[in-house]
Each structure stands twice: as C-alpha cells, then as structure tokens.
Structure 1
C-alpha cells in the first residue's frame, strides 16, 4: 500500500467579512494573541488582519474567564504567541463556528506522494492521510497525485468514500490498470 500525505504548508486564510472595506479574506499575520485582564477575569483574543486594508480584528478565544480556571502553562503560551497554539486555535472547528469564519485552504497545502515504482503490480492500493483538516474532494486529490484527468479517475479508481464529496478524513483507494 502506497502512503500519500496531505500536509499544511502555511496557515489557511480566513473567509471573514471586513467591516471597513467589505473584503472577504483575512490572515493571522504573525499569529498573535492578545490577553487582557480585568480584575480577576481574563479575555484572550486571536488577532487577524484584513488582507485588503490591514484592519485588525479580534477573534474571541476566552471571554471573561476567571484567571484561576486557565492552566498557567496555557496562559504562558498565549503570552508567548506560541505558533503551534495559534495553528491549533485557528483549526479548531468550535472556534471557527463561534467566531463565524471559514477557512480558505487554497494554496495552503501540498500532497506528498512517494515516487512511482514501475514494477508495481496492478491494481495499486493507496492510503491517504491528513496531517491537518484540509477539506478536499478525493477525485481532485487523486487526479492531482496520479496526473490523470478527473474523468479518468472516475473510470479507474475504486474508493472507500464518495469521490465527489469533500473530506478531510483519511481514506483508501485502488487504482485499476489501463486495460
């Protein structure tokens, strides 16, 4: 079985309407958190920037949270603007839903495919795994990885999930010979 891996190359853009310029995309820029204390309550925001006008917007991570309820190590990571925490926060589906944005993955991922072996017996079995929740249509991913047209993929590939439905979950498929 051949392993294919879908990897993130950068953080995805956010599909988020800017109130100033009405642009529809923003970025995390350098990936910064803002922590604000109000008495014994904390607010934590992830700062994002509009790509068109550079306006900064705050996305709520924690709101009016008692200081004692946050893990001190996690609070240190917020203060240090930990890049792994920025990525984990941004990729969290609950965070996206509560802050009303979607992720735009165009140009933010790559497919790592092992070199083709010509002595491989047909049919060829392939396992696709995702390091991050990159939403792709299996039909397009397979066409890209094999260098085939999408029509050819539909004719030659047997897959354990629907080929025309977007997924970010691991799957396997079998490529049949050209005969």
Structure 2
C-alpha cells in the first residue's frame, strides 16, 4: 500500500467580508491574539487582517471565560502568540461557526506522494492520510496525485469514500490498470 500525505504548508485564508472595502478574504498573518482581562474573566480574540485594505479586525476565540478554566500553558500561548495555537484555533470548527467564516485552502496545502508505481504492479492500493483537517474532494486529489484527468481517475479508481464530496478524513483507494474497462459511477 502506497502512502500519500496531505500536509498544510501555511495558514488558510479566511472567507470573510471586510466592512471597509467589501473584499471577501482575510488572513491571520503571522497570527496574533488579543487578550483582555475583566476581573476574573478573560476575552481572547484572534486578530485578522483584510488582504485588500489591510484593516485589522478581531474574531472571538473566548468570551467572558473564567481565568481558572484555562490551562497555564494555553494562557501563555495566547500571550506569546504561539503559532501552533493560532493554527489550532483557525482549524477549530467551533471558531469558524462562532465567527461565521469559512477557510479558503487554496495554495495552503501540498500532497506528498512516493515515486510513481511500476507498470506491472496493478492494481495498486493507496492510503491517503491528512495531517490537518483540510477539506478536499477525493476525485480532484487523486487526479492531481496520479497526474490524470478527473474523468480518467474516476474510471480507474475504486474508493471507500464518496469521490465528489469534500472530506478531511483518511481514506484508501485502488488504482486499476490503464486498460481496465470498469464503469465509472456518476453518482460517486
């Protein structure tokens, strides 16, 4: 079984409308948090910047949360603008839902594949592993990894997940030889 790995190469853009210029993209840049204490309660925001006009806005991470509910390492991470904490905050689906935003992964990931498989080793099984929850359509990912058109990839593969719906979970597929006459299922 050949291992393929989907890796994050950077932070994704945020699909978020700017109040000044109406642009649809914002970035977390290097990643900075703003922490505000109000008595024994903390507010934590992630600062994001519009890619068009450079306006900075805050996106809520925690609101009126008791200081005691934070682990000391997490508090230190917010204060030090820890890049790992910035990434895990952006990848948290609750953060996206709370702030009504989605992530644009264009150009923020790569597919690591081993060398091409030998022609006589058909069929070939491939296991796709995601290092981060990057939502990708399996048909597009497989076509890119094999260097085939999407139609050719659909004709030659058998997969354990729906091919035309984004997924960010690990899956496996089998590549059949080029002369294989399988039928492609348009509903996959």
> The residue matched to 2:178 in structure 1 has which SS?
coil
State how far apart, in whole Å, the 1-side matches of 2:100 and 2:170 are: 26
* Structure 2 gap segments, 5+ residues each: 180-188
> The residue matched to 2:6 in structure 1 has which SS?
strand
State the partner residue of 1:104. Answer: 104
Correspondences of 1:154-165 after superposition (within 5 Å): 154-165=154-165
State the partner residue of 1:64. Answer: 64
> The residue matched to 1:21 in structure 2 has which SS?
coil
Q: TM-score w.r.t. structure 1 length?
A: 0.97
Change beyond 3 A, Cα 1:70–1:157: same
State how far apart, in whole Å, the 1-side matches of 2:67 and 2:147 are: 54
State how far apart, in whole Å, the 1-side matches of 2:71 and 2:170 are: 32
State the partner residue of 2:5. Answer: 5
State the partner residue of 1:44. Answer: 44
State the partner residue of 2:21. Answer: 21
**What is the CA distance between 1:69 and its match in structure 2?**
2.1
Runs of 4+ aligned structure 1 residues displaced above 4 Å come to none
State the partner residue of 2:85. Answer: 85
**What is the CA distance between 1:120 and its match in structure 2?**
5.2
* Structure 1 gap segments, 5+ residues each: none
Of 118-127 and 31-40, more deviation after overlay is shown by: 118-127
State the partner residue of 1:170. Answer: 170
**What is the CA distance between 1:133 and its match in structure 2?**
1.0
Q: How many residues align?
A: 179
Correspondences of 1:129-140 after superposition (within 5 Å): 129-140=129-140
Of 37-46 and 11-20, more deviation after overlay is shown by: 37-46
